[in-house]
Chain A
Amino acid sequence: MTRLFWRAAALACVAIPTMAFAQPIGEAKILSGQAVIETDSGYVFVTGPERQMGTLLRMPEADDVVQYEEEWAKQLARVQKKYPSKLASWESKKAAAEQTKAKVPDRPIEPTAENFSIEPIEARNAVTFGYTSIYNKSATPRSFSYLTKMKPGRYVYHGPLWTGPEGSMGTCYCMGSVAFDVKPGVITNIGNFFAVAASAGQSAAAAVDMAAVNYDLPASLQALPHVQAEFHASGKFDNFFRGTVGRMPAVAGVLAYDRDKVIDAKTGQMAAGMMAANAPPRTAADAVTTTDAGKAGEEEVTEQVSTQP
């Protein structure tokens, strides 16, 4: 177990550079002007009555897929190059084991295009926010808020789960969730929606109390460009981080369920999922809305930034 732990630790260190870029921002940095709303970055604001954590998965776009395939091919070539020496080493160990009547180790699996996998493309663009990295907090009313800078795109709410190189913990909304666009140059305001959703529990009949959802922003953000998140139903995805299995409670007008079928309440049809194997990646054509919104945000931000020291 100890050997497994340290091997995993070493691999995790290698993995850190592949984790999606995300940066928590504190209120002091906004107030002092050290942090500004950049026109090519997205920002997500989340609040709630208690500290919280959550993970967002950016849906793969066409260039992500190209990059992923290139890396997969490179890694496959690498392990295929290593295979002959692995096999020779195993044959040597096998011979030694047979002589001493010890257990023969498993023969190494030959890497092929059919059996070789690297981490899921959907999991590599994960952004985790919370728990201690707050934007601000207040005692009355009690609130803890989070502002996170991230790459623009469409994000699926993975659920109230923490993931990082040290491990993962929390709930995966693998069996149904919501997606929303994070547009460049503006703050996408989630309000306390995630916190209200979490308080609804995980029973099959659970529903988000939309009357309890608010999108109040701290005074320090009110003058900055912001939009309220528009939620869309999002279908099932794998439990990438081995969290507790769950789903986003039903959301009136957005997300419904027929047993475990995830229904887009806007259309009455089954919701599209985020898995790249089922749904082709978003493309430049799909990013038109994002770019337009970014231009609008850029103008507003320029105006705001001009007042910053």
Chain B
Amino acid sequence: MKYILLAGALCAFPMSAGAQAIKAPEPARQFTEAEVAALERPDTRFDETPEIALGYDKYFYFHRADTDFSTAFHDISECDALSSGSNFYGGGDAGMTSYYAMQYGVAGAAGGALGSLFADAVFGSAERRKIRRNNVRQCMEYKGYSRYGMERERWQAFHFEEGLGRVKDEKRTGFLMKQALVASGPKPETKELLP
């Protein structure tokens, strides 16, 4: 009964105004075979050395069997958004919220995006980069992806690090697409790391 009442009340609720203030989440992007085929596959082959292996906490990539490119891209994008504090599940745009807060001094925009600035001022960019790495790793573990180590230069060809600034969207999406290509591609031949 409670839920019938709830449903009735929701129908009466004026959602039209909310459609702008509370924005709908972006739908999951579906890529065509041609779009995927047009992507340049990153080179993940390298000869492991003890020195390279020491960097696997920083330089790693993901793979999951039986996963198509669109799913992998959606998963990686979700983990990227959670890790950087961006909006993913709808409601608004964290980047624009910060923009208007800083450029126009909008009081209502001073929320979570602002709060982290103080911690950032204290701990610095390196700590923020480390947190982001760990966040992506944790999120992808939950999604069932395996983690593999990589040599630094090859890793840099399709990954980015993010500290206090924000990598621009176009560059970001390009990197995430390449990561999705690897994540949904052939199973790596190298040793799987701990999550």
Contact = CB atoms under 8 A, between A and B. Distances in A.
Interface of A: 1, 4-5, 7-9, 11-12, 14-15, 18, 62, 65, 68-69, 71-73, 75, 78-79, 82, 86, 108-109, 111, 113-124, 163-169, 172, 174-175, 202-204, 236-242, 244-247, 257, 259-260, 273, 275-278, 280-286, 288-289
Given A204-B195, A239-B82, A259-B142, 14 more contacts: A11-B110, A14-B105, A15-B111, A62-B13, A73-B21, A116-B100, A118-B108, A168-B116, A245-B82, A260-B143, A276-B91, A277-B22, A285-B2, A288-B2
B57 to A, nearest CB: 16
B108 A119 contact: yes
Contacts of B135: 239, 244-245
Nearest to A176: B142
Interface in B155-186: 164
B37 interface: no
Contacts of A167: 115-119, 122
Contact of B96 (A86, A117, A273, A276): A117
B115 A241 contact: yes
Contacts of A122: 91
Q: Chain B interface mostly helix, strand, loop or mixed?
A: helix
Contacts of A7: 102
Contacts of A164: 115
Most chain-A Cβ atoms within 10 A of its Cβ — which of B81, B87, B97, B106? B106
Given A119-B108, A245-B139, A285 B89 contact: no
Contacts of A108: 103
A109 B88 CA distance: 22
Interface stretch (B4-12, B28-36, B43-51): B4-12
Nearest to B17: A69
A123 B111 contact: yes
B39 interface: no
Interface string B43-83: 00000000000000000000000000000000100010111
Contact of B110 (A14, A238, A286): A14
Q: Chain A interface mostly helix, strand, loop or mixed?
A: loop
A244 B131 contact: yes
Contact of A117 (B15, B97, B144): B97
Contacts of A242: 84-85, 112-113, 115-116, 119
B166 to A, nearest CB: 12
A97 B111 CA distance: 34
A120 B91 contact: yes
A166 B115 CA distance: 7
B38 interface: no
B119 to A, nearest CB: 4
Contacts of A273: 89
A245 B83 contact: yes
B112 A15 contact: no
Contacts of B93: 115, 117
Contact of B105 (A11, A163, A245): A11
Contacts of A257: 142
Given A72-B108, A118-B97, A203 B6 contact: no
A11 B25 CA distance: 27
Nearest to A114: B20
A118 B142 CA distance: 30
